[in-house]
Structure 1
């Protein structure tokens, strides 16, 4: 299992190759966003947010937002380190908090600040017209998770592994 410093170094070292590879598929602008998402995913949205880690320390004064996540998910479980599932849960958690804060700010600053329901059509329209941007960001975030799992030595959490033995009758 790699240390936090090793995870950080590998994330930074692999970010440029990740961007170059995705530029062939998504174009340079979206590859830059993929690279940025890869770095953010590896340094701030790491699967190790459920323990005391460099990623958790990087949140500084906002590290308290991960307290429920840390209490509910056991370390290296399918829900923290699982491919697709782990990052999806972290993104859902951040999105829910962002939505709550946005709604609170919109209610306090009513006419000057748009509510989420007012801004939602614009966001959906932007994603509909630029799907490669969303794909690039999601590929970067998930790529950082896979790098983390590979560095830990086992790409799948224990819950995903099945014994490959067949039951034989003798």
Structure 2
């Protein structure tokens, strides 16, 4: 199993090549979204959110929001440390927390912002390739973490 510093080092090292790959098809937007999502996935949405770890502490005072997630899952559980399912579980949990926290704001501003119109028309037509790039970046950083935990290419 790799240390937190080893995970961080590899996240830094591989985020740039991943961003370059994304830029081949999507230009600078792909470069920025791919690189940022890879780093965010490795540093803030890591599989190690299931324990008190560097990624958990990076959330600062908001780290308490991840307590239910940690309590429901054991460290390196089949959910938190699996391909696809781990990223899906972290994103789903994060979205649920965001919806709960944002729901009072939505009640106040529901008449001024038509989010459904935006989601139905703007996002899918113009930016779906960037959304997919972001999701692949998050998932790829999780793969890197899991591979390191299996000691395939990391000594520390």
Give the secondary-structure state (helix, strand or coil) at the position aligned to 1:71: helix
State the partner residue of 1:158.
none
State the partner residue of 2:10.
10
Q: TM-score, normalised on structure 1?
A: 0.82
- Which of 1 and 2 has greater Rg? 1
Q: State the Cα distance separating 1:106 from its structure 2 match.
A: 2.6
Matched residues in 2 for 1:124 and 1:6: separation? 41
Q: State the Cα distance separating 1:97 from its structure 2 match.
A: 1.3
Q: TM-score, normalised on structure 2?
A: 0.89
Runs of 4 or more consecutive aligned structure 1 residues displaced over 4 Å after TM superposition: none
State the partner residue of 2:104.
104
> Number of paired residues?
151
Matched residues in 2 for 1:90 and 1:55: separation? 12
Structure 2 residue 127 is the aligned partner of structure 1 residue 128: no
Structure 2 residue 123 is the aligned partner of structure 1 residue 137: no
Asked if 2 retains the 8 angstrom alpha-carbon contact of 1:31 and 1:136, the reply is: no
Asked if 1 retains the 8 angstrom alpha-carbon contact of 2:42 and 2:145, the reply is: yes
Matched residues in 2 for 1:16 and 1:7: separation? 15
Q: State the Cα distance separating 1:154 from its structure 2 match.
A: 6.0
Give the secondary-structure state (helix, strand or coil) at the position aligned to 2:52: coil
Q: State the Cα distance separating 1:34 from its structure 2 match.
A: 1.1
Matches within 5 A, 1:1-170: 1-107=1-107, 110=108, 113-114=109-110, 118-129=114-125, 130-153=127-150
Give the secondary-structure state (helix, strand or coil) at the position aligned to 1:80: coil
Give the number of the structure with larger relative contact order, counting CA–CA contacts within 8 Å between residues 6 or more apart.
2
